[in-house]
Amino acid sequence: MGKSTGFLDYGRRENPSLEPKERIKHYHEFHLPISEKERQRQGARCMDCGVPFCQSGMVLKGMVSGCPLNNLVPEWNDLVYTGNWEQAYYRLKKTNNFPEFTSRVCPAPCEAACTCGLNGDPVTIKENEYAIVEKAYGKGMASPCPPGLRTGKKIAVVGSGPAGLAAADQLNKRGHSVTVFERSDRAGGLLMYGIPNMKLEKWVINRKIQVMKEEGVTFITNGDVGRNYKANKLLRDYDRVILACGASNPRDIAVPGRDGTGIMFAVDFLKGVTKSLLDSDFEDGNFVSGKDKHVVVIGGGDTGNDCVGTVIRQGCASVTQLEMMPKLPDKRGEDNTWPEWPKVCKTDYGQEEAIAVFGSDPRVYETTVKEFVKDGEGKVCKVITVRLSSETDPETGRKVMKPVEGSEQELAADLVLIAAGFLGAQQYVADAFGVELDGRGNAAVREGSYQTNIDKVFAAGDMRRGQSLVVWAIREGREAAREVDRSLMGYTNLK
């Protein structure tokens, strides 16, 4: 490393964010970059450790440790320190097709595994990545670079989320002709409509899509394969098909009163808000608003937090977020040692904003819904909750959460958003191609492969592995592209 004592000389300094009460006035990203000189110091903190766990992508105790893309983190950290931004970008792009996305939305397992974090604060890897890619766009280094030769092979990618985009990007660079089908009106999939604007502004996605178009990738929006685009035609017209349709079946809450109006899936709520924002800056009114409503969010994950941040921006009267599991500790437990993913309580931006606006954390732990109460017009007006306790199942030995008798409570609720995760791919796409699903509702593939039971059809991303991180989806897309390329050409030079 250029400065072997950097981790001793400089402390961790993160990009500052706007104060919660200020940032809830808009839907823009709210982190502010630090100076270039200070960013170089943050790169200098990378400590030339013997084993860079940050880039390992290992799974320890069922949790990922380090970057699943095996990003060359120490290399580009050092290049940031020395101010060699061009080489830093090329090293970053060697393993990651979309650092403009991951530097904004990834939970940074690289930082959790940073050796510097063993006895201090980890390196600001994610923010260094952000600085590299934005510098690259600013200086023209991220301009379109179409392939010099075409192979004559045609590939259809169904789904334009991170897995589909990564597969398309890789295969196009190889010289194949790639067409991406997206059933929504805008490309981006989960990135476009599953993540709110304040977390990932949509011009960032459009900027990259435009680069890919100029490099030769064709995008067909409103192209719902299995419905208005026939699977048989794709199989006839293309040499290979990659299904990257996501895990888009939301998990429901099957309790009395579920048929009441004012109860909806979080993904539908977030999509409506983002689409209306992009279409008309909310002038069209084609979205569900939490303004002046008591909102209950069911689910304590990232999507639930996104709902909290969104309804606060809409001006809700109150917001409560129900979490089935117990609160995680504020500090690592002795059984959760580095470099494992730290199982600690994280207060995300939406919860920070709820605390600022309402004076308390919106999360209620070890609690679920027992019943939805409807008014005379069939609208939800209350939620009956019940406390849960952790017990050991005598048959399986696993911990399960069971209701505590007599612990019911009432919550006012004019709007309920269900953010309880996803249960696999929507079956109509798989059925259209004759692709088999596994027991979890994901596309079944040959062991150690991305190949489905249909010779020309491959599957990648959440559709293959289940709901996961954007960084895993990119890895899946890259690996599926490599298999497709090998099946077409007899060998592959894709990494």
The token pair that represents 360 in the structure block: 């308390």
Is residue 288 one of the residues assigned to a domain?
yes
- My answer on whether 392 and 410 are in the same domain is yes
- My answer on whether 305 and 365 are in the same domain is yes
CATH number at 102 reads 1.10.1060.10
CATH number at 177 reads 3.50.50.60
Q: Is 301 helix (H, G, I), strand (E, B) or coil?
A: coil
Q: How many structural domains comprise the chain?
A: 3
Domain boundary pick from 365, 390, 418? 418
CB distance 8 to 41 below 8 Å: no
Is residue 254 one of the residues assigned to a domain?
no
- My answer on whether 165 and 210 are in the same domain is yes
495 residues of the chain, pLDDT tens digit each: 678 899 999 999 999 999 999 999 999 999 999 999 999 999 999 998 989 999 999 999 988 999 999 999 999 999 999 999 999 999 999 999 999 999 999 999 999 999 999 989 999 999 999 999 999 999 999 999 999 999 999 999 999 999 999 999 999 999 999 999 999 999 999 999 999 999 999 999 999 999 999 999 999 999 999 999 999 999 999 999 999 999 989 999 999 999 999 999 999 999 999 999 999 999 999 999 999 999 999 999 999 999 999 999 999 999 999 999 999 999 999 999 999 999 999 999 999 999 999 999 999 999 999 999 999 999 999 999 999 998 888 888 888 899 999 999 999 999 999 999 998 888 999 999 999 999 999 999 998 899 999 999 999 999 999 999 999 999 999 999 999 999 999 999 998
pLDDT of 30 reads: 97
Contacts of residue 330, defined as CB under 8 A and 6 or more positions apart, other chains included, come to 344, 345
User: Can you count the helices (H) and strands (E) in the chain?
Assistant: 17, 16
Domain boundary pick from 109, 138, 167? 138
**Dist CA 203 CA 391 (whole Å):** 47
- My answer on whether 478 and 375 are in the same domain is no
Provide the CA 192 distance to its chain's centre, in angstroms.
11
Domain encompassing residue 412? 263-418
Is residue 257 one of the residues assigned to a domain?
no
**Dist CA 68 CA 65 (whole Å):** 8
pTM value surpassing 0.85: yes
Q: For residue 106, count other CB atoms closer than 10 A to its CB.
A: 23
**Dist CA 305 CA 277 (whole Å):** 19
